[in-house]
Structure 1
Amino acid sequence: MGAGLAYAIAAYGLWGFLPVFFVLLSPSSAPEIVAWRIVLSVVFCLVLLTVTRGWPALITIVRDTRTTLILGGAGVLILVNWGVYVFATLTGHVVEAALGYFTNPIVTVLLGVFVLREKLRPLQWVSIGISAVAVLVLAVNYGQFPWIALILAFSFGLYGLVKKQVGGRVDAISGLTIETAWLAPFASVVLIVIAANGALTTGNSGIPHLLLMMSAGVITAVPLLLFAAGARRLPLSYMGLTQYLAPVLQLIIGVFVLHEDMPFARWLGFGLVWVALIVLTIDMFTAGRGPRRASLERP
């Protein structure tokens, strides 16, 4: 289990430092970064498939039309998630993005109720109630609705729900390959349009910037593979707890590195969300099982 925990911590640690990576890609715009991330992820995944001899598994999945279409839907959701996350990072909203990933487990529970018609236990209702109060506090006292946080939480929650439909039939590399392959034509058009307008920064902002951008595929795929390795070795309850490492790191980076505003109302809202997560975690362990709806992949 020690190796599994190490893989999980490494995966969430890398995801936690993503804001620094995207900030270093300045002056690139969010559409350019996301488009390159998609295209380069496809390229890196194709290399991985060749090295790991994963082509037979990929071909088997592609022949299943239903599974391929489901993964296409997952690709759309991950496009929304990636786009909003990069936008949040580049516009000084890393703290709100962290709130989104803190909120994600609670959103996952809500989706279980309204989509899968699952029944909630009392502590789960308490957790959702506290979360609703937190959103209200952030919207009223902080002066703006936390739309970035909620879009991130719901897009990733829905992504996990869609991925649940394909279950264990799709491995991490094949899944990411198909999802990004669906998006690659759109991403290519975006890059062509940006270049035609003379706004393409990649290749025009120095060698360090170019090398960073070209590593976007690796930065996307490696944490996912580490996560998959950890998930195979750890109980879901442990995976559920380690997932909070990423938003904790994002919060630290937003407040202490990027110096984003953190007024009392925002601390209060975050505090309520953390209380809700503690309640949800207590319920998870007292129920005697791990979280049934934990997402098996992350953007």
Structure 2
Amino acid sequence: MSDQARGVAAMVGAASIWGLSPIFYKHLSHIPALEVLSHRMIWSLALFLLVLGVQNRLREIWQAVNSFRALAIFMVASVMIAANWALFIWSVQVGQTTQTSLGYYIYPLVAVLIGRIIFGETLSRAQWYAVVLAALAVMLLTYGLGTAPWVALVLAATFGLYGMIKKQLDVGPVVSVTVEVLLLAPLAVILLLQTRHNDAAVFGGDPATFGLLVLSGPLTALPLILFSYAARRLAMATVGLLQYINPTLQFGCAVFLFGEPFGGWHMAAFALIWSALALYSVSRFGQDRARRKASRAAAASGTIV
């Protein structure tokens, strides 16, 4: 298997785990979302530390926070990802997986908009059309349902802001997330100790439930490791396209497994979102192809000289 094929397999694996994770969290609906989040942080931290320890990279954690600025950025990033994880878990538990799917479909377009507003990145005409279609989808759904899809919007916004913050750090994803959950771990432990008396589900009680809570660590760590492996081997346009497996599987879980409502307004809004993503993907592939051609031309020119 070629290096690129291994990268594709890793990315498909990561996106599939993320996309099917609602099935896992649905089985924990009897546990408050903040408790599930706390377990997710603690057990993923344990696994990340183990991985970095085996790789003899634990010192990179300290190196990543060697300045006040870096520590402050990590603290803000940890708040963003904790809010995103907590809202996702809660949404699945209360039957809003359709909205989580919509949120992760919207996220790439939110990221494009953040890039334009914050970093002054240039958008192609097709990308502007994609952003406009996404905005129309949100307005249509708000009108049809009588309320804004706030779960989807907050998920997309927190993940978009998380990416914006992480853009300022030159740290690999495994080390970065290790630092973030390490900063939040004390709060997670305090929350679990305070709620220990609640139906014995925190550190004891039902062995099956406790086993699922421990499993939330690998479920968090494994796709991130796979994503990191894939990102080093694939073009960003390919990674971006394969990431759509995640919300597509979430959508399938919501409609076909959980039986969540999906009426005419949902259908119209999702059609607009899918059209926007098609425009965005075509534009990204075009930009990526043009960039590769320019790089090859520059390399050839340098060789001739």
Residue matched to 1:75: 78
Q: Is 2:195–2:202's contact at 8 Å kept on the other side of the alignment?
A: no
Q: Paired residue for 1:171?
A: 172
Q: Which 4+ runs in 1 deviate beyond 3 A?
A: 202-205, 288-291
Superposition deviation, residue 139 in structure 1: 0.5
1:9-28 to structure 2, matched below 5 A, reads: 9-28=12-31
Structure whose CA Rg is larger: 2
**Is the CA contact (8 Å cut-off) linking 1:4 and 1:230 kept in structure 2?**
yes
- Quote the RMSD (CA, aligned, Å): 1.6
Cα deviations by residue, 1:239-279 (Å, 9 ceiling, x for unpaired): 01000000000000110001101011101101100001111
Q: Deviations over 1:100-149 (max 9, x none)?
A: 00000000011112211223221111111111110011111123210000
Cα separation, partners in 2 of 1:128 and 1:251, compared to 1, 3 Å: same
Q: 3-state DSSP class of the match of 2:111?
A: helix
Q: Equivalents in 2 of 1:134, 1:13: separation in Å?
A: 25
TM-score (norm 2): 0.90
Indicate yes or no: 2:193 matched with 1:188.
no
Cα distance change, pair 261–205 in 1 and its aligned pair in 2 (3 A):
farther
Please name the residue that 1:250 is paired with. Answer: 250
**Paired residues for 1:95-134 under 5 Å:** 95-134=98-137
Residue 224 of structure 2 corresponds to residue 224 of structure 1 = yes
Shift of residue 29 of structure 1? Answer: 1.0
Q: Deviations over 1:58-98 (max 9, x none)?
A: 23223233223212211110011001100100000001100
What is residue 294 of structure 1 aligned with on the other side?
Answer: none
Counterparts of 1:124 and 1:91, CA distance in 2: 34
What residue identity is the alignment partner of 2:44?
S
The reply to whether residue 90 of structure 1 matches residue 93 of structure 2 is yes
CA distance in 2, matches of 1:182, 1:58: 11
Separation in 2 of the partners of 1:290 and 1:66?
A: 36
Quote the offset at 1:158 in angstroms. 0.7
Write the distance in 2 (CA, Å) between the matches of 1:161 and 1:128.
Answer: 18
Deviation of 1:289 (Å): 5.0
Contact 1:191-1:200 within 8 A present in 2 as well: no
The answer to whether 1:282 aligns with 2:288 is no
| Aligned residues of 1:284 and 1:290 also touching (Cα < 8 A) | no
Secondary structure (helix, strand or coil) at the match of 1:262 reads coil
Q: How many residues align?
A: 288
Q: Secondary structure of 2:121's match?
A: coil
Tell me which amino acid in the other structure corresponds to 1:171. G
Match of 2:207 in 1: 207
**CA deviations over 1:26-77 (Å, ceiling 9, x no partner):** 3111011011111222222111121111113223223233223212211110
- Look up the SS of the partner of 1:73 in the other structure: helix
Q: What's the counterpart of residue 240 of structure 1? A: 240
Indicate the residue corresponding to 1:159 in structure 2.
Answer: 162
CA contact (8 A) 1:27 1:201 kept: no
Aligned residue among 44, 48, 63 for 1:45:
48
Question: Helix, strand or coil for the counterpart of 2:269?
Answer: helix
For residue 177 of structure 1, what is the amino acid of its counterpart?
Answer: T
Whichever residue aligns with residue 175 of structure 1, its letter is S
What are structure 2's unaligned runs of at least 5 residues? 292-305
The residue aligned with 2:33 is 30
Task: Answer whether contact 2:16 2:246 (CA < 8 A) is retained.
Answer: yes
| Cα contact 1:28–1:200 (8 A) shared by 2 | no
SS at match of 1:33: helix
For 1:269, give the aligned amino acid: A
Q: Give, as a single letter, the amino acid of the residue that structure 1 aligns with 2:15.
A: Y
Identity %: 32
Q: Is the 8 A contact 2:17 2:223 kept in 1?
A: yes
After superposition, the Cα gap between the structure-2 partners of 1:201 and 1:275, relative to the gap in structure 1 and judged at 3 Å, is: same
